[in-house]
A and B are shown apart, each in its own frame.
Chain A
Amino acid sequence: MEKRTIHIRDLTGNESKIDLHLVLVAGKAGVGKEISMGDINRPGLGLAGFFDFFAYDRIQIFGLGETAFMRQLAPDRKGEIFERFFSYSVRCCIFTHNEHPDELFLELANRHQVPTFVTTHRTTRFISLLTHVLEEIFSPMVVNHGTLVDVFGVGVLLMGKSGVGKSECALELVERGHRLVADDMVEIRKIDESLLMGYGSEVIRHHMEIRGLGIINVKDVFGIRSVRNRKRIELVVLLEEWASGKEYDRLGIDENKYSILDMDVPFITVPVRPGRNIPIIIETAALNQRLKKMGVYSARELDNRIQHWMMMEGRKRHD
Chain B
Amino acid sequence: MTEKEVVVKSDAGVHARPAMMFVREAMKYPCEVFIVKDDVEANGKSIMSVLGLAITSGTRLIVRAAGQDEEDAVDRLVSLIENDFKN
Query: Which residues of A line the B interface, CB within 8 A?
Result: 1, 143, 145, 162, 183-185, 201, 203-204, 207-209, 215
Contact = CB atoms under 8 A, between A and B. Distances in A.
A185 B47 contact: no
20 contacts: A1-B39, A1-B40, A143-B40, A143-B42, A145-B42, A145-B46, A145-B49, A162-B43, A162-B46, A184-B52, A185-B46, A185-B52, A201-B53, A203-B54, A204-B48, A204-B51, A209-B46, A209-B47, A209-B48, A215-B48
B45 A208 contact: no
Nearest to B43: A145
B7 interface: no
B41 A203 contact: no
Contacts of A183: 48
Interface string B64-84: 000000000000000000000
B1 interface: no
Given A201-B52, A203-B52, A204-B52, A215 B43 contact: no
Contacts of B42: 143, 145, 185
A203 B52 CA distance: 6
B49 A185 contact: yes
A207 B48 contact: yes
Contacts of B12: none
A207 B48 CA distance: 7
Classify the interface of chain A: helix, strand, loop or mixed. Answer: loop
Contacts of B45: 162
A203 B51 contact: yes
Counting chain B residues whose Cβ lies within 8 A of the other chain, the interface size class is: 10 to 19
A82 B70 CA distance: 61
A184 B46 contact: yes
A262 to B, nearest CB: 18
A158 to B, nearest CB: 13
Contacts of A184: 43, 46, 48-49, 52
Given A143-B41, A185-B42, A215 B52 contact: no
Nearest to B27: A162
B42 to A, nearest CB: 6
Q: Considering residues B40, B41, B47, B52, which has the most beta carbons from chain A within 10 angstroms of its beta carbon? A: B52
A169 B36 CA distance: 27
Contacts of A207: 48, 51
Given A1-B39, A143-B40, A203-B54, A215 B49 contact: no
B16 A215 contact: yes
A162 B50 CA distance: 14
Contacts of A209: 46-48
Contacts of A203: 51-52, 54
A112 to B, nearest CB: 31
